[in-house]
Amino acid sequence: MKIKVFVLLGTLAVFVVLGTMGAPQASAQAVYGSIFGTVTDPSGAAVAGAKVTVTSATKGTTFDTTTNTDGNYSVTHLIPDIYNIRAEGSGFKAFEAKNISVSADAGSRVDGQFQVGGSTETVEVTSEAPQLTTDRADVATTFNDKYVQDVPILNRNFTNLQLMAPGSQKMVGWSHAATENPQGSLQIFTQGQHFSGTAFELDGTDNQDPILGIIVVNPNLDAVTEAKVSLQNYDAEFGKAVSSVVTAQTKSGSNQLHGSGFLFRRSDAQQARDPFTQSTRDPITHRFIPPSRWAQFGGTIGGAIIKDKLFFFGDYQGTRQTNGVSGTFTVPTNRAATSCNPATNPTSATPGSCDLSEYLAGGVTGGGQVFDPLTGDPNSGAGRSPFVNNQIPIARISPAAGKILAAFPAAQSGTVFNNLIGAGSGPFTQNSFDTRVDYAASSSINVFGRFSLDYFKLSGKGLLGAVGGPGNGLLGLSGSSITHNYSLASGFTKTISSSLLTDFRFGWFKYNPQTQKPTGGTPMSDFGIPNANTSDPKTAGLGAFLLGPDPISGQNCTQNNGNQGCVISSFGDGLGVARCNCPLTESEQQFQFVNNWTKLKGNHQIKFGGDIRYAMNLRIPSDNNRTGEYNFSPQATSNGGNGGLDFASLLLGQVTSFARYVNNPDLPGASNAAERQKRWFFYGQDTWRVTSKLTLNYGLRWEIYFPETVNARGNGGFANIIDGGGTGAIRVAGFGKIGLNGNVDNTYTAFAPRLGIAYQLTPKTVVRMGYGRSYDIGVFGSNFGHTVTQNLPVLLKQNVDATAFNPLAAANKVPVFLLDNGPIAATFPAVPSDGIIPFSALGGQVGGTHIRPTKQVLPLVDSWNATVQHQLTNTVSVEVAYV
């Protein structure tokens, strides 16, 4: 039985493919809506052959059809708008219903009953159309333009609308860095699924960055005519999502010239002080609250270029923000800053000691006792002698650490922890616009086109001054970013006959952040740390200095607000410290071709089509600071793990672990290594009005994500755990028999069946049920982007601790190198002629290799839903769903 079902599904999928050959591919209801209903005579019998005319109330465009033998009619491919309906039949008065709202991916049901009379007489229905969803089983929330504009969203962020859909929850405690997400896309879990499982669409074209899982163009609320969040059982033409599909439609012009303007403003003058961190004036700015300002302004305009034919719409939105940030930090005490700096306590004048005695009674985890790393067992760190009263001879202090110490701002209090309040403001600028044109070329051809641009510029400086640290920019940014996000959508519909329609769309987007560190030049060299600022310009600026017990990744103690796991707030630059993946070059593009066909046959509305996408990505990141991430563990100055002080480890120059990204200097294309991927989707579905009360929707979607390729020989490494004699290896693209796709096998069995039932139990109650399967591309490069080009031979993530050079050494308890000697040079293994680099050849310095399975694997979710919707009034309905 299972085999028969699989064969049936496969046959349907093949039928869909054949049906779409000869025409480029896509999804109709993503942009359009429909009006349907039944026309009856005074006795309730169906009226066949009645003429039905649907007219746009704003544009004057018209669409004609006739009722079938069951009295049913359907007008599809309607741009979201307000429409008037007129039905005419011989021997009956004409029937009119006005001001019917049509939404994308939705059907408005308007039934009509004729009255006996002349055709010149008209019966006009003035009540609004029922709000019941009687033609589909999806669980969805739709927001019209008034709702979108009037709902109180503090920052006017479109993606907040997703939180208003049932089962949605914002991810807390983590977010994308502002440099890579200036558009402010929220990380929202829907129905328990990961935020990357949400597909965003704008005017029926893809609007989601598949690597970070976020929206590319966050629409201006005043430009959105409606938005819809589909949670479950969406039609087979929708896919690439396992949690929800968020669609937005931009406004179009009308015969009347119309426009709007807006201005919103907030500032620190309207804010209350935090009594814990803002109880005293800042010693530099003399302000209680950092200056902050948020202003958003813009407007829209739309109208007709040619009445009833050609329409335009445009909008602009500007945002100006000065982001006030304040935080509590832990810096060296004034006694330590003076006594531990060789410049202020020189041995040649008055022999002295670095006095860290305050840390013995400061409540430091483990007691704060410093042990001499030159004593005891050199491998385990056991048997070390303590520095009496935490007095370290000044001659033992690292010169580089001394210069770093001198660059710290002075403590503002005599306490060991939380002794500095840093504050400041970083600027944020947005300029965005949309332009759209709609053209009714003829009664059978309609064309539209839209172009959107979002421009962002933001920056911030470290709140710890010359040593960087968390920034005063948006979300703690220290660095700068310039981002241009583009989106283009265009398409047309063609009515071939009264029962056959087709539509075509082309979509393109580009996601393009460019980020930089807040400082340039060679500050690491200024501190006397060699081999950190190299000839590679991406290594300019500060490294990251990370104190605490974290072994290699160095991400501990970076929240910098009273965390007593480290006694100095982490400082420097980089993603973990300063919320900046700097420097970063990202250029991600996707081209999309969509074609749908709609066939009306009796009470069946049959649709099939395809969606062909081609993705391109170039990403040169600094997830690990390319200047280096230097970890100083308290265990380096402990007695075999007991006691120790990470601040003392820094002063003694004991680097306990080290990480950085390094591009291969011997690979000419390393700085241009990029990924490519083809994505093909096909579907077929039938919406069958079995009776006037029962509608059945069934279909099948076929999704094909081809294994990604790289753009040149050697520009990617496909790691797996099967090669290399079963111990794992990296396949280097283009070497030996390895193709540019790493010889990863594809899967062609990603079939996604959909089934929906809608039954109108009473005139005011509808019961809907459905089942659907969905597939997803994943996130963070799990199926595309920044995985194979961040492997050897292109890029090396150098992870080093003491065990990399001495298997007997205990990580964190003995240094991997001394700060004054600088980082250990990265070693790139040679690429053999067969292109297979065994993991065993990588050495102890290489960490974080990204694995690719030898066969494409796609995440999938099966979902069921049951819904009851009851009409309370003409405009209000209540819906209860089980999903």
Residue 113, in any domain of the structure: yes
**What does the pLDDT look like over 549-602, one tens digit per residue?**
654 444 455 443 334 457 888 899 999 889 999 999 999 999 999 999 999 898
SS3 content of the chain, % helix, strand, coil (to 5): 10, 40, 45
Residue 414, in any domain of the structure: no
Residue 119, in any domain of the structure: yes
pLDDT bucket at 190, cuts 50 / 70 / 90: confident
Q: Mean pLDDT over residues 665-670, rounded?
A: 83
Whole-number Å distance between alpha carbons of 623 and 577: 11
Q: Fill in the amino acid letter for 335.
A: R
CATH code for position 102: 2.60.40.1120
Residue 55, in any domain of the structure: yes
pLDDT at 410 over 60: yes
What pLDDT, on a 0 to 100 scale, did the predictor assign at position 285?
67
Residue 102, in any domain of the structure: yes
Q: Mean pLDDT over residues 45-64, rounded?
A: 89
pTM: 0.87
pLDDT at 351 over 80: no
CA distances from 686 to 67, 237, 605, 612, 719 (A): 19, 11, 6, 22, 43
Whole-number Å distance between alpha carbons of 234 and 239: 8
Average pLDDT, the chain: 87
Whole-number Å distance between alpha carbons of 669 and 403: 38
The total number of structural domains that make up the chain: 1
Both structure tokens of 665: 């200097």
CB-facing half-sphere around the CA of 450: CA atoms within 13 A: 28
**What does the pLDDT look like over 134-151, one tens digit per residue?**
777 778 888 888 888 888
Name the residue among 161, 106, 156 with its Cα closest to residue 136.
106
Q: Following DSSP, what letter does each residue of 529-587 receive, concatenated?
A: -TTSS-SSGGG-S--EEEESS--SS--TT-S-SS-TT-SS--EESSHHHHS---SEEEE
Outline where DSSP puts E strands in 576-665.
584-601, 604-620, 629-632, 654-655, 657-663
Q: Mean pLDDT over residues 371-398, rounded?
A: 95
Higher-pLDDT residue of 576, 183: 183
58: number of Cβ within 10 Å: 19
Residue 636, in any domain of the structure: no
Q: Mean pLDDT over residues 19-25, rounded?
A: 33
Buried b / exposed e along 207-244 (16+ C-beta atoms within 10 A): bbbbbbbbbbbbbbbbbbbbbbbbbbbbbbbbbbbbbb
**What does the pLDDT look like over 492-513, one tens digit per residue?**
999 998 889 999 999 999 999 9
617 SS3 class: strand
Whole-number Å distance between alpha carbons of 511 and 481: 13
Give percent above pLDDT 90 in the chain.
54
Residue 80, in any domain of the structure: yes
Q: Is the dihedral of CA 578, 627, 808, 397 positive or negative?
A: negative
Whole-number Å distance between alpha carbons of 568 and 330: 5
Residue written as token pair 């071709």: 593
Whole-number Å distance between alpha carbons of 14 and 5: 14
615: number of Cβ within 10 Å: 22
Element (H, E) at 404: helix 399-407
**What does the pLDDT look like over 294-320, one tens digit per residue?**
999 999 999 999 999 999 999 999 999
pLDDT at 128 over 90: no
pLDDT at 129 over 80: no
Residue 36, in any domain of the structure: yes
Roughly how many angstroms between the first and final C-alpha of the chain, as a whole number?
Answer: 27
pLDDT at 347 over 70: no
pLDDT at 217 over 90: yes
Both structure tokens of 38: 């039944």
Contact 620, 542 (CB under 8 A): no
What pLDDT, on a 0 to 100 scale, did the predictor assign at position 102?
87
Whole-number Å distance between alpha carbons of 29 and 89: 30
Buried b / exposed e along 278-291 (16+ C-beta atoms within 10 A): beeebeeeeebbbe
What pLDDT, on a 0 to 100 scale, did the predictor assign at position 5?
35
Query: Which residue range is the domain that position 89 belongs to?
Result: 31-129
How many residues can be counted in the chain? Answer: 883
Whole-number Å distance between alpha carbons of 454 and 481: 13
Contact 709, 740 (CB under 8 A): yes
pLDDT at 520 over 60: yes
Give percent above pLDDT 70 in the chain.
93
- Which residues, 6 or more positions from 349, have their beta carbon under 8 angstroms from its beta carbon? none
